[in-house]
Amino acid sequence: MLPKTPIISSQGKILVLLLTSAEDLDCTPGFQQKVFHINQPAQFIEDQAILNLTFSDCKGNNKLHYEVSSPYFKVNDDGSLVALKNITAVGKTLFVHARTPHAEDMAELVIVGGKDIQGSLQDIFKFARTSPVPRQKRSIVVSPILIPENQRQPFPRDVGKVVDSDRPEGSKFRLTGKGVDQEPKGIFRINENTGSVSVTQTLDREMIATYQLFVETTDVNGKTLEGPVPLEVIVIDQNDNRPIFREGPYVGHVMEGSPTGMLDWLTLHQSIME
């Protein structure tokens, strides 16, 4: 529902303005920046901010929770990533996951000059979805992707990322499903090397509200190595319909100098909302 602001004209009539902003319409749930690059320092210092992360679920970030792929780091409430103790090496990549009841997303910190550390992603993201059927532990980690409908250019734009904690060198990511290689084709695609998922056009929730995609890794010959793992894309509703006034025009009258919130305004407001 768009906010409504009463304006009293010089003739004593009440005008109702429906106010919104480009920020409201274009708010995309998730991290404002998804990939960061820093040079490997001589040492990560305890409680010293490494970088600041900005996450929004477009609903106020109520019950926002962060989780880091390394147990030696945490994200404070203000979005600052810090080390829990002095440490010299953490590997080549850190992943930060943020979630609220309304959205979740993943950010990647690439450490330039970092060295490989075996098992650095073994405990990544306890929240990762797993099949109720017993099976071999998956190395592919995906988070649901939330995309507002009616987004504007430019396209394509990155909307999510797939992580494989044990991907063989030279292997590729592959994305399939409705919206990729099934009609409507070409809406989503994945960077076969980095795992970044992008959308290529505006989405309409009234047409399709949810896309069920699948991610897998393949060798150089296209043979499946891991997966497929389900990846859900949820289209978020935007108020793209103009308000409808079934009767009218609506005219309210107030006496000059009347206090704010007088009964006539409330009566008019209620009649418009009915």
- Taking only the tens place, the pLDDT of each residue in 187-239 is 999 999 989 999 999 999 889 999 999 999 999 899 999 989 999 898 887 66
Percentage of the residues of the chain whose pLDDT score is greater than 90: 30
Give the whole-angstrom CA distance, residue 66 versus residue 104: 10
**CA–centroid distance for 156 within its chain:** 16
95 in Cβ contact with 162 (< 8 Å): no
Report which of 175, 108, 165, 159 is spatially closest to residue 140, judged by C-alpha positions.
165
Q: Residue 138: is its pLDDT beyond 80?
A: no
Residue 33: the pLDDT is 87
Q: Residue 129: is its pLDDT beyond 80?
A: no
Residue 137: the pLDDT is 47
Q: Residue 5: is its pLDDT beyond 70?
A: no
Give the whole-angstrom CA distance, residue 55 versus residue 98: 7
Residue 131: the pLDDT is 34
Give the whole-angstrom CA distance, residue 74 versus residue 90: 13
pTM, to two decimals: 0.51
Cα angle 164, 201, 127 (rounded to 5 degrees) comes to 30
Residue 252: the pLDDT is 64
In 119-223 the beta strands, taken as DSSP E runs, fall at 140-141, 145-148, 157-161, 163-164, 172-177, 188-190, 196-199, 210-218
124 in Cβ contact with 164 (< 8 Å): no
Q: Is the peptide bond before 230 cis (omega within 30 degrees of 0)?
A: no
Q: Residue 27: is its pLDDT beyond 90?
A: no
Least confidently predicted of 56-60, 169-173, 252-256: 252-256
28 or 165: which carries more pLDDT confidence?
28
Residue 95: the pLDDT is 83
Report which of 203, 42, 36, 167 is spatially closest to residue 110, judged by C-alpha positions.
36
Q: Is the CA virtual torsion 221, 226, 230, 234 positive or negative?
A: negative
Residue 133: the pLDDT is 36
Each residue's pLDDT tens digit, 42-64 = 899 999 999 999 999 888 999 99
Rounded to 10 degrees, the C-alpha dihedral 108/110/116/121 comes to -10
121 in Cβ contact with 50 (< 8 Å): no
In the chain the beta strands, taken as DSSP E runs, fall at 4-8, 14-18, 30-31, 35-39, 49-52, 55-56, 65-68, 73-75, 80-83, 93-99, 104-112, 140-141, 145-148, 157-161, 163-164, 172-177, 188-190, 196-199, 210-218, 224-236
4 or 196: which carries more pLDDT confidence?
196
Amino acid identity of 15? L
Q: How far apart are the first and last CA of the chain?
A: 13
Average pLDDT over every residue of 102-120: 74
